[in-house]
Chains A and B, each alone.
Chain A
């Protein structure tokens, strides 16, 4: 039974570029949440998707957007990358209304 999978594992971009990160939820899960984890910090909630709609959003600018597909997989898009966007981006999945959220191993994004 595959857990949450994320791709790519590592990514290097330059300022001003845009990036797309991908997530496949754990089998049986229909809800995907994205978190940003800066070095030495706890994860910070970006947004959550269910039924292909954004259901909740954390304190992140509109440069951060997402999408959920009919198969429950999800993408995180970040435009106009800033140096401060360098972080580990984590995807977590769950069943709607159920706990807990299960995390993938993340995508390490480095901005040069």
Chain B
């Protein structure tokens, strides 16, 4: 079945350094991947997404890399700031089951990022 997992449950980085959060997925049929940030007491907040026909996508201070050969996804955060402290989830979408618009996301357990001032 489909599963999404993260390599490390916690990550501590110095303020100003770059952060790299990794994620592995098992379903080779996944065609869409997304990263969310969840702060304490709040819902997941969209960061960046990438489709399976791409290897890399950049946003503001964030980059997502997709390696389909080894089914690996990573999120890079440049110049990490205290406000980046949160739990980060990767999620994947499998094949649509009942039409092109219908899909469900499968989430990993999350990585807690702590930024040291």
Please list the residues of chain A having a beta carbon within 8 angstroms of any beta carbon in chain B: 4, 31, 33, 35, 40-45, 48, 50, 55-56, 58, 90, 96-106
Interface 9-mer from B13-21, B36-44, B61-69, B75-83: B36-44
Contact A42 B42 (CB under 8 A): no
Instruction: Give A58's nearest chain B residue, CB to CB.
Output: B104
- Chain B residues in 8 Å Cβ range of A56: 97-98, 102-104
Contact A45 B43 (CB under 8 A): no
Instruction: Give B34's nearest chain A residue, CB to CB.
Output: A100
> How many Å from the CB of A7 to the closest CB on chain B?
13
- Main secondary structure, interface of B, reads loop
The count of chain B contact residues (Cβ–Cβ below 8 Å) is 27
| Docked complex Cα distance between A48 and B102 (Å) | 8
Contact of B44 among A44, A48, A55, A90 (CB under 8 A): A90
Name the interface residues of B62-107: CB closer than 8 Å to any CB of A.
89, 91, 97-107
Instruction: Give B89's nearest chain A residue, CB to CB.
Output: A42
Contact B98 A42 (CB under 8 A): no
| Docked complex Cα distance between A43 and B106 (Å) | 8
Contact B98 A55 (CB under 8 A): yes
| Docked complex Cα distance between A4 and B45 (Å) | 11
Contact A103 B99 (CB under 8 A): no
Contact of A45 among B49, B98, B104, B109 (CB under 8 A): B104
Contact of B109 among A35, A41, A100 (CB under 8 A): A41
| Docked complex Cα distance between A99 and B4 (Å) | 19
Contact of B49 among A4, A55, A100 (CB under 8 A): A100
Instruction: Give A33's nearest chain B residue, CB to CB.
Output: B104
